[in-house]
A and B are shown apart, each in its own frame.
Chain A
Amino acid sequence: MISREEYLKIPLEERFIKLSPEENERANRLFDELLTVDMHTHIFGSVEFYYNYDLIRQSGIKCCFEAVPSVTEDFEESMALLGRYKSLVAHEPGLVSATRVDEVRAAAEAGKQAVMYQLEPQTIGRKPERLEIAYGFGVRMMLLTFNFKNYLGDGCGETTDGGLSYLGFEVVERMNELGMLIDLSHCGIQTSLDAIKTSKDPVAINHTGAQALYPQCKRLKPDNVLKAVADNGGVVGVSAVPNQLSPNEDQGIEDMLNHIDYLVKLISADHVAIGLDNHFQDQAARHRRQTKARTVAFQRLGIELVANFMYGIESPLEWRNIVRGLVARGYSDDQIGKIVGANALRVMEQVLK
């Protein structure tokens, strides 16, 4: 295994999955033509702020659903960050803030990249009226809980696995009424099942994977939750965060593809999407810092920080490699189109009013 520094010195094309010349041409054509949607991005950084337009442009993603983080669940803090992101986008001619699918399509036609916004996690506290405020500022998706307990439900790394609270049910209802997507990526199993059952609209688990492939990892979802999402018409986004898809020392694009294969078999290509959740910085190092600072308790998620980077999908710059991987695994153009964007757009069109 090489170090992350050495890996980053390898030219981009050499990090990618090897394809025949015909497959190579097909993959490039698909990536350039398709309206790609990354359902969970941190292009402005994650907890630490970071912005580099050149990198966003080079990623080639047509639509980013950017996560606005506030681990302390402070509403003002998350709205301040949202304002900062939107101001940067407003001042960059190549980017456009979007709240609807037609805006995303218009941006793509004009050769621009669309940025949509989600709260990760939600920061409404005990004030459901904040849903409207957040909607008004452009938020179109919300993670109901982070890894821990909050007013709405239990996170996946909590002492308990209670379901939605009374307030949680009310919030799901209000999000349905407003037309805001529900994300369950960090929620506990019972909270996920309650939300899926209660929501009139399809919901998303936008950055996760199949727990069947890595049972000790609580950030992944068991089959019953995945099936329930699909039955409700929703989508499951596969992530590319190191040490969440497998416990191997070497991890990368193949782990992602394994999860996609499993999910397609379980719930069909109509319900699988992409939500990388990675960024342009050193994620494994950040996770170690967070463990040390006790801001995220990875051991409570069953996660061991073994691998140092994700070979072939370490940052959004390597997005093209997902399409290459799907070609290599034998998916049809139609299936690839659905997974890398069309499924996400379908659900967004259905939920966002």
Chain B
Amino acid sequence: MAIIPREEYLKLSEDKRFITLSEKDAARAEALHKDSLAIDLHTHILRGEFEENVPRLKRAQVNGFIEAVARINEDFSESMDLLGEYLEIVERHPDFMPAFCAQDFVTAKETGKQAVMFQLEPQTFGRKLERIEIAYGLGIRMALLTFNTRTYIGDGCGERTNGGLSYLGLEAVERMNDLGMLIDLSHCGEQVSLDAIELSKDPVMCNHVGARTLYPQCKRLKSDEVLKALADKGGLAGVSAIPNQLSGNEEQGIEDMLNHIDYIVKLIGIDNVAIGLDNVFHDQVAYHKQADQSIFKLAYIGQELNAPYMWGIESPEEWPNITRGLVSRGYSDEDIRKIIGGNALRVIQQVVG
């Protein structure tokens, strides 16, 4: 495929954007996607104008999302305000419901709603670990330990140094385990990730990453060692669909995602792979260009803006294409169900209840 601009790509019909399948395979993928319980472990669906996105979310046919409450300045009050706004939207909308436990996702599927669980990205606890309990009480069920930079808890993947968890970090992991709050390590440094996996009594996840081996310069991806350690503890690697984080190609898309899924499945087994797209409905590359000047430096995480968008998985709307892709790569129905939601539900059930 030749590179076409993003605006033109968005005008293409679904069959042109989606992976080509035989009629039989296409029917199988459609039925399987509709029938399975699908969960996206890392989303930003509430950012922007939610009402405009509702029809697109319906087309995604995903039963549950874990929405990131993102305040990069790590201000606790601001993050709680944002959580309140998000909860209000989800509570009042007839087609959505908030999720605070695994059963809520099952209920959403049964009642034809879409459930939204909330995570902090990154955590905003500062040095006040009692805020973990406050955040839990207000509805948070997962927290990212560090963003790309250093926090009180440990070093991010784009920091100068690769120190492990601090004393406070050890305590935070313990408290999250006690409360039943999921630990996400997607943006954490290598040593923080290894420390947290080792110390956590519960399985943990890297909910929007990929395999570093496939794209070594990108620090946002995880090494084989981290991925294996995750799996040994029963945790999950969620594969993301952010442009320019899965490969350095000029054309990127669903095939990059599938390459990472294939690699990780071979490395750690089918039971430990999931999906956490982390993409949005607006132009992500434009956003990254802007962010590079303000809130984070792409060079620090080894990210170059080579591709303008992700063909076939540019927004959550194209979620059914993941199932098509997994069919095209020869996965069984059972394996596909695990990757697109079954594994996620299992770990949420185990940690959150």
Contact = CB atoms under 8 A, between A and B. Distances in A.
Nearest to A146: B127
B168 A149 contact: yes
A151 B167 contact: no
B73 A159 contact: no
A151 B165 contact: no
A148 B167 contact: yes
Contacts of B300: 166
A182 B151 CA distance: 20
A149 B152 contact: yes
A165 B161 CA distance: 7
Contacts of B166: 148-149, 154, 158-160
Among B72, B128, B152, B159, chain A packs the most CB atoms within 10 A around the CB of: B152
B269 interface: no
A125 B150 contact: no
Contacts of A162: 150, 155, 160-163
A205 interface: no
Contacts of B167: 148, 158-159, 297, 300
A155 to B, nearest CB: 9
A73 interface: yes
B163 A160 contact: yes
B150 A148 contact: no
B163 A126 contact: no
A167 B127 contact: no
Interface in B130-175: 149-155, 159-170
Given A73-B127, A125-B126, A160 B164 contact: yes
A125 B159 contact: no
B73 A165 contact: no
Nearest to A149: B166
Interface in A273-310: 297, 300
A162 B153 CA distance: 13
A125 B74 contact: yes
Among A73, A159, A167, A300, chain B packs the most CB atoms within 10 A around the CB of: A159
B75 interface: yes
Given A149-B152, A150-B152, A151-B150, A165 B168 contact: no
Nearest to A155: B166
Contacts of A164: 160
A74 interface: yes
A126 to B, nearest CB: 5
B164 A73 contact: no
Contact of A165 (B72, B74, B160, B297): B160
A151 B164 CA distance: 14
Contacts of B73: 125-127
B163 to A, nearest CB: 3
A163 interface: yes
Interface in A159-188: 159-168
A72 B161 contact: no
Contacts of B75: 125, 127
Interface string A249-292: 00000000000000000000000000000000000000000000
A145 B152 CA distance: 10
Contact of B168 (A127, A148, A152): A148
B127 A165 contact: no
B89 to A, nearest CB: 27
B34 to A, nearest CB: 43
Contacts of B153: 149
Contacts of B160: 162-166
Contacts of A148: 127, 152, 166-168
A151 B300 CA distance: 16
Given A148-B167, A159-B166, A300-B167, A166 B127 contact: no
A158 B155 CA distance: 13
A166 B164 contact: no
A126 B127 CA distance: 13
Contacts of B297: 166
A75 to B, nearest CB: 10
A165 B159 CA distance: 7
B152 to A, nearest CB: 6
Given A151-B149, A165-B160, A166-B149, A159 B165 contact: yes
A297 B154 CA distance: 18
Contact of A167 (B149, B163, B164, B168): B149
A297 B166 CA distance: 13
Interface string B85-104: 00000000000000000000
A297 B155 CA distance: 21
Nearest to B127: A72
A161 B166 CA distance: 10
Contacts of A127: 73, 75
B12 to A, nearest CB: 40
Contacts of A166: 149, 159-160, 297, 300
Nearest to B156: A165
Contacts of B168: 148-149
Contact of B163 (A74, A149, A152, A300): A149
Nearest to B297: A166
Interface in A71-113: 71-74
A72 B126 CA distance: 8
B161 A151 contact: no
Interface in B169-218: 169-170
B163 A72 contact: no
Contacts of A167: 149-150
Given A149-B152, A151-B151, A167-B149, A74 B159 contact: no
Contacts of B74: 125-126
Interface string B214-252: 000000000000000000000000000000000000000
B169 to A, nearest CB: 8
A334 to B, nearest CB: 43
A148 B152 CA distance: 8
Nearest to B154: A149
Contacts of B154: 149
Given A148-B127, A149-B152, A151-B151, 6 more contacts: A151-B149, A153-B150, A161-B163, A162-B162, A166-B160, A166-B300
List the 8 closest A-B pairs by CB distance, nearest first: A160-B163, A162-B161, A149-B166, A165-B150, A162-B163, A72-B127, A126-B74, A126-B73
15 contacts: A72-B126, A73-B127, A126-B72, A127-B75, A148-B152, A148-B168, A149-B153, A149-B166, A149-B168, A159-B164, A159-B170, A162-B155, A165-B150, A166-B149, A166-B297
